[in-house]
Amino acid sequence: MGTPHEDLHPTGTQDRPTTAVRVTVRTAERMRDLGRRLAPLLGPGDLVLLNGELGAGKTTLTRGLGEGLGVRGAVTSPTFVIARVHPSLTGGPALVHVDAYRLAGGLDQMEDLDLDVSLPESVVVVEWGEGKVEELSEARLQVVIERTVGTTPDADDDARVVTVTGVGPRWALVDLAPLLEA
Ligand SMILES: Nc1ncnc2c1ncn2[C@@H]1O[C@H](COP(=O)(O)OP(=O)(O)OP(=O)(O)O)[C@@H](O)[C@H]1O
Ligand SMILES: [Mg+2]
């Protein structure tokens, strides 16, 4: 016990946090690795909400996820578009990468995007999605990325603490342990 990355809390019932892991991520490359480790846990229709301040590493995590899923195109910050679709190169689900920062209208606006893809057949990742797109799915994986600088004596600028929480029946029996550092 003690170090953050050893925490693993299976809990819960329907629509409450079911499983959570907390992992310390020291570099951007390790954040990408975390995204790659997340990919095998996800399938069609899954919704991932990424939250954390500007520059926390949400897009970096999504880049690794895209690599892990084997989708076309490098994941970048969707600054000038609200959503970008990355089709699978391997017959798996597409990755729909949404930046909800300016999605003031929440879900309604999301449905108006008229994406050329079926959300139930895709993995949908939403940066800044908290409080906006939860209704897209009865279940979701919530990822919160926090900087640790200033919180402990050995904290450095690059370290992040990532908390991943599965919400809803979809995640009740899913073991998130593969997300812990290999
Ligand atoms: N441990 C780390 N994890 C993730 N990124 C890191 C880490 N250390 C340094 N970085 C750097 O921090 C930046 C994170 O940028 P990124 O675009 O992924 O953040 P973001 O959360 O998507 O920001 P925004 O809110 O603007 O969309 C990158 O330049 C990355 O190289
Ligand atoms: Mg981003």
Per-residue pLDDT tens digits for 9-68 = 444 445 544 479 999 999 999 999 999 999 999 999 999 999 999 999 999 999 999 999
Which residue puts its alpha carbon closest to atom 31 of ligand 1?
28
CA 22 – CA 7 distance, rounded (Å): 6
Which residue, judged by its Cα, is nearest atom 8 of ligand 1? 158
54 versus 102: the higher-pLDDT residue is: 54
SS3 147: strand
Backbone phi and psi for residue 115, each to the nearest 5 degrees, phi listed first = -65, 145
- The verdict on the CB of residue 104 being under 6 Å from ligand 1 is no
Question: Which residues line ion ligand 2, judged by CB < 5 Å?
Answer: 58-59, 77, 127
Write down the mean pLDDT value for the chain: 84
63 lines ligand 1 (CB under 6 A): no
Q: What is the mean pLDDT of residues 149-166?
A: 81
pLDDT for 118: 83
Q: What is the pLDDT of residue 65?
A: 98
- Looking at residue 42, its pLDDT comes to 97
% of the chain residues with pLDDT over 90: 54
pTM: 0.87
Give the Å distances, CA to CA, from 25 to 134, 141, 151, 159.
26, 18, 15, 6
The answer, yes or no, to whether any atom of ligand 1 lies below 6 A from the CB of 27, is: yes
28 C-alpha vs ligand 1 centroid, how far in Å?
Answer: 7
Q: Is 64 in the pocket of ligand 1 (CB under 6 A)?
A: no
The pLDDT of residue 131: 81
29-170 in CATH: which number? 3.40.50.300
Contact between residue 3 and residue 153 where contact means Cβ atoms under 8 Å apart: no
- The label of the residue with tokens 């920062």 reads 101
Ligand 1 pocket test: pick from 25, 31, 156 the residue with the most ligand atoms within 8 Å of its Cβ.
31
Q: Where are the domains of the chain?
A: 29-170
CA distances (Å), origin 36, targets 13, 31, 134: 28, 9, 23
Give the per-residue pLDDT at 99.
87
